[in-house]
Amino acid sequence: MEAPLRVGLAGLGTVGSAVAGMLLRTRDKLADRAGRPIDLVAVASKDPPRDQSLDLSSIKRSDDPVALAKGEGIDVFVELMGGSGDPAKASVEAALGIGRPVVTANKALIAKHGTSLIKLAEKHNAAFNFEAAVGGGIPVIKTLREGLGGAEISRVYGILNGTCNYILTQMQKEGRSFEDCLKEAQKLGYAEADPTFDIGGFDTAHKIAILASLAFGAEVDADAVYVEGIQSITLADLEAADDLGYRVKLLGVAVKTDTGVEQRVHPTMVPKGSVIGEIDGVTNAVAINSDALDLTLVGPGAGGAATASAVVADLVDLASGRRVMPFGRGSAKLKKAVRAPMQDHEGGYYIRLAAVDKPGTAASIAGRMAERGISLESIVQHRRDKKQSSDAPAPVILITYATNEDAMRSALDAIKKDGVLAADPQVIRIEKN
């Protein structure tokens, strides 16, 4: 059997501890699969491992990930510290700069610096693997990069953040507020003490930027992603969606359009009974549409064990000599994608209005929509809550046929100027299968 692949690991948090445990626990099985042993020989972490049951007494310890990345005694550097800046960036660059293979689960790093890092990897003939950066244990990167042959991909979309999906699921199933479900997610460890990165949609934005690059052969451009979070979603929206035959999910969507590549993250209504619509809890799902086939990948999108399995799969590829270009083609073939303006987005919309009960309100709403060529599929006026006074705003739900973002926003601005709304409209896009 060949000499072992010697692994240096930076970061011993939830994922790092899970990777270390998996390498130690399944060494013989991995050797059979890879054709050679994969040995964890060194770790870098200023903190003790999150999993305190790990026995790392025989493993070389350091608190300097950059020194580990470029030092002697390892064959591959695994970065699991997270963050788009240093020390993660500096340590990955140090390893690639001497031609050392790198495996990472760091979506923020790839989303912000992916293009420059693969150029560095190419310059020094170093492998650069990041399957675990998107979808946890779901092999979506390998699928997009290697599994679809010559298929022409038109759209990639899905549920890419388990925290948001858990919160929306609990709200919908148990009739509880956003704030209550967020606190529960934090208590269970699904959400951080500061949950902004997740609930604000930024985590999903990083992931969809990476998937868009793989799908459309473009440089990673996280700044091109339009982002909305789930903070504004209410029980009233979820109940209305249910009545209309939809579920509300936070989706990341990348679509090739006539005007460029559209990348967006926002709460979305998807049909009940669809695969995406039925994904509950912390589970992730990614759908890929192409001219050859459509498929949906479903699985655990976060957590130590799921993400560790993807990291170790990358290590098995390296140990067995399997190597592919990180984005499925050389960096010279990656083009700067033309950004499709969000104003050009076309689709159906759910609009919830707090309409003032006075003459002319209904005419204003219908008229402003008609002026911009927006056709309404349905108009539903809900009864006021019994606790509200008779002059309280009346909730009105509009569902539009396909229109564009610019027309819809222009109509809503005009309606607000007419003074017939008591609050800003709630807008949720509708994504068909």
Identify the CATH number of the domain in which residue 168 sits: 3.30.360.10
Q: Same domain, yes or no, for 172 and 267?
A: yes
pLDDT mean across residues, the chain: 92
Q: Same domain, yes or no, for 160 and 296?
A: yes
The per-residue pLDDT for range 170-202, each reduced to its tens digit, is 999 999 999 999 999 999 888 888 999 999 999
Q: Is the distance from CB of 133 to CB of 113 less than 8 angstroms?
A: no
Q: Same domain, yes or no, for 264 and 178?
A: yes
Q: Same domain, yes or no, for 58 and 91?
A: yes
b/e map 217-234, b = 16+ CB within 10 Å: ebbbbbebbbbbbbeebe
Residue 246 maps to a domain: yes
Q: Same domain, yes or no, for 14 and 77?
A: yes
Among candidate residues 70, 207, 249, 256, the one labeled active-site is 207
When pLDDT is cut at 50, 70 and 90, the band that residue 149 belongs to is confident
Identify the CATH number of the domain in which residue 11 sits: 3.40.50.720
Residue 338 maps to a domain: no
Neighbours of 111 (CB within 10 A): 25
Any catalytic annotation for residue 358? Answer: no
pTM: 0.93
Q: Same domain, yes or no, for 77 and 212?
A: no
Q: Name beta bridge partners: 8.
A: 42, 77
The per-residue pLDDT for range 225-279, each reduced to its tens digit, is 999 999 999 999 999 999 999 999 999 999 998 888 999 999 999 999 999 999 9
Run of H or E residues at 250: strand 246-257
Q: Same domain, yes or no, for 183 and 247?
A: yes
Q: Same domain, yes or no, for 23 and 83?
A: yes
The number of folded domains in the chain is 3
Residue 231 maps to a domain: yes
Range scoring the smallest mean pLDDT among 105-114, 153-162, 320-329, 374-383:
374-383
Q: Same domain, yes or no, for 262 and 324?
A: no
pLDDT of residue 430: 94
Residue 56 maps to a domain: yes
Torsion, CA 410, CA 268, CA 345, CA 350, rounded to 10: -40
Identify the CATH number of the domain in which residue 369 sits: 3.30.70.260
Residue 339 maps to a domain: no
Q: Same domain, yes or no, for 96 and 238?
A: no
Residue 425 maps to a domain: yes
Q: Same domain, yes or no, for 128 and 43?
A: yes
Residue 340 maps to a domain: no
The per-residue pLDDT for range 394-420, each reduced to its tens digit, is 889 999 999 999 999 999 999 999 999
Q: Of the candidates 6, 8, 14, which has an alpha carbon nearest to the alpha carbon of residue 94? A: 8
pLDDT average, residue stretch 78-89: 96
Neighbours of 196 (CB within 10 A): 12
Evaluate if residue 321 carries a pLDDT over 60. Answer: yes
pLDDT of residue 147: 84
358 or 223, greater pLDDT? 223
Q: Same domain, yes or no, for 152 and 284?
A: yes
Distance (Å, rounded) from C-alpha 73 to C-alpha 335?
38
3-state secondary structure of 149: coil
Residue 206 maps to a domain: yes
Evaluate if residue 325 carries a pLDDT over 60. Answer: yes
- The torsion region of residue 321 among left (phi > 0), alpha (psi -120 to 50) and beta comes to left
pLDDT of residue 313: 96
The CA-based angle 158-159-163, given to 5 degrees, is 165
Domain that holds residue 125: 5-137+307-333
